[in-house]
């Protein structure tokens, strides 16, 4: 981090801001600044294309805000593109950007965990002779690590270690349940019934969060001599409810939870007593449904609170936790991710290797991928 801020400071001191043209399409937005600690011609000539899977995703919006600010501080001209959850749209945007003179691709892949989709974009970058930095959404399937990231010298990934959030969430939930077991057991049957909201079926983050959020919680709960968590709907053998659009949306979670609460109630003796969500958007949707049913009204309000856990630590989730409506979340560090991306982008703009002077970052050493940076998660409960 010190290296980045030193570079950013020298960039801002050496050059003044200049304006850049606006995007040509509604799906793009632009920003710029100039400067360089070394290789000023390279930095001033840099033209960065940043491709987001969807502007509407709350967490991705926080990354976009942070990344826009840090690219400007580093003196890098950039343009943002909204893939609108469509891989074909994103591919076409990348083609157009390369034709228009983009010198660096920063890509939040629409089809998460697809080595085919990622390889196609990497090949476009390789053919154009420009670097590509993937971020946030996995570019390779489990067991295929290095298929894309090891096939092109001028490529990198900045994201998270997928299982980590699930493990951390599971540990947070497990300890909370042990500490509050009797209060949570609303129907007095000696066990805790939970609902799980997965998000995207193929997303590796969603897969691991779904698995470890429950498994790790049960390890702690059973070690304390309590029965393992029980999924609320015995007829659902998957053990989760899925956003069929793959958007991790508050709306989908709200609709599911509203339906759940029409059938599973304290009066019926089968109340859902714990809610686990793979992101904060879905947690917010569940809380809205709970509010409508008279639960989770906040600190100092009448009524009971069903523990709700999410992932991302968005600003709105933090406020819900502060208000006593949500129990906890796992912070996915948008600022840290933006900082690492900008550091690599600054290396590229200065004519350096993408991974120059990045030894301080955590890498995927298990798969011997020095060009894969992990940004750590953090537990957050207020």
pLDDT at 202 (0 to 100): 86
**Count of alpha carbons within 13 Å of 198, Cβ hemisphere only?**
19
Q: Which of 74, 81, 80 is nearest to 33 (CA)?
A: 74
Q: Are strands 329-332 and 377-380 parallel, antiparallel or unpaired?
A: antiparallel
| SS3 of residue 351 by DSSP | coil
pLDDT tens digits for range 52-64: 999 999 999 999 9
More confident residue, 245 or 337: 337
Bridge partners of 52?
A: 82
Q: Which two tokens stand for residue 132?
A: 């590509």
375-381: average pLDDT? 96
Contact between residue 205 and residue 213 where contact means Cβ atoms under 8 Å apart: no
Determine which helix (DSSP H) or strand (DSSP E) holds 377, and give its type and residue range: strand 377-380
- In the chain, residues under CATH classification 3.40.50.2300 are 2-159+333-375, 163-332
Determine which helix (DSSP H) or strand (DSSP E) holds 108, and give its type and residue range: none
Res. 30 pLDDT band, cuts 50 70 90 = low
Res. 38 pLDDT band, cuts 50 70 90 = very low
- DSSP notation for 115-148: HHHHHHHHHHHHHHT--EEEESS-SS-TT-TTTT
pLDDT of residue 303 exceeding 80, the answer is yes
Q: Which of 232, 225, 228, 234 is nearest to 215 (CA)?
A: 228
pLDDT tens digits for range 62-108: 999 999 999 999 999 999 999 999 999 999 999 999 999 999 999 99
Res. 300 pLDDT band, cuts 50 70 90 = confident
pLDDT at 9 (0 to 100): 35
- State the CATH architecture for 2-159+333-375: 3-Layer(aba) Sandwich (3.40)
pLDDT at 28 (0 to 100): 61
Spatial separation of the C-alpha atoms in residues 75 and 163, rounded to whole Å: 35
Q: Which two tokens stand for residue 198?
A: 């997965």
Q: Which two tokens stand for residue 55?
A: 């502007």
pLDDT tens digits for range 112-151: 999 999 999 999 999 999 999 999 999 999 889 999 999 9
More confident residue, 22 or 99: 99
Contact between residue 344 and residue 156 where contact means Cβ atoms under 8 Å apart: yes
Q: Are strands 308-309 and 274-277 parallel, antiparallel or unpaired?
A: parallel
pLDDT at 31 (0 to 100): 61
Written out in words, the top-level CATH class of the domain with range 163-332 is alpha beta
Contact between residue 265 and residue 259 where contact means Cβ atoms under 8 Å apart: no
**Count of alpha carbons within 13 Å of 314, Cβ hemisphere only?**
22
Q: How many residues does the chain have?
A: 382
Phi, psi of 211 (to 5 degrees): -70, -55
């Amino acid at each position: 981090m010190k290296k980045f801020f030193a570079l950013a400071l020298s960039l801002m001191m050496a050059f003044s801001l200049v304006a850049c043209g606006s995007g040509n399409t509604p799906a793009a937005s632009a920003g710029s600044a100039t400067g360089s600690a070394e290789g000023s011609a390279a930095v001033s000539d840099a033209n960065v294309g940043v491709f987001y899977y969807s502007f509407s995703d709350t967490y991705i919006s926080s990354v976009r805000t942070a990344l826009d600010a840090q690219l400007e501080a580093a003196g890098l001209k950039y343009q943002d593109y909204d893939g609108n959850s469509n891989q074909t749209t994103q591919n076409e945007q990348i083609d157009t950007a390369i034709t228009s003179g983009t010198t660096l691709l920063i890509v939040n892949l629409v089809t998460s965990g697809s080595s085919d989709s990622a390889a196609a974009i990497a090949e476009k970058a390789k053919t154009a002779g420009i670097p590509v930095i993937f971020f946030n959404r996995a570019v390779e399937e489990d067991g295929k690590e290095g298929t894309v990231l090891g096939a092109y010298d001028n490529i990198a990934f900045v994201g998270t270690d997928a299982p980590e959030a699930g493990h951390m969430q599971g540990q947070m939930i497990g300890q909370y349940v042990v500490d509050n077991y009797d209060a949570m057991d609303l129907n007095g049957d000696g066990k805790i019934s939970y609902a799980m909201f997965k998000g995207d079926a193929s997303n590796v983050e969603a897969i691991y969060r779904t698995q470890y959020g429950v498994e790790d919680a049960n390890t702690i709960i059973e070690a304390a001599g309590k029965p393992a968590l029980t999924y609320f709907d015995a007829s659902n053998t998957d053990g989760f409810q899925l956003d069929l659009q793959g958007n991790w949306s508050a709306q989908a979670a709200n609709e599911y939870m509203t339906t759940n609460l029409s059938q599973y109630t304290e009066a019926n003796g089968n109340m859902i007593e714990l809610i686990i969500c793979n992101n904060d958007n879905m947690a917010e949707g569940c809380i809205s449904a709970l509010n409508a049913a008279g639960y989770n009204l906040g600190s100092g309000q009448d009524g009971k609170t069903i523990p709700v856990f999410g992932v991302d630590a968005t600003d709105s989730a933090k406020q819900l936790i502060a208000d006593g409506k949500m129990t906890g979340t796992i912070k996915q560090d948008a600022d840290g991710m933006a900082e690492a991306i900008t550091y690599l982008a600054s290396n590229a703009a200065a004519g350096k290797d993408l991974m120059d002077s990045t030894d301080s970052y955590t890498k995927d050493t298990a798969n011997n991928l020095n060009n894969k940076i992990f940004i750590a998660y953090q537990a957050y409960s207020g």
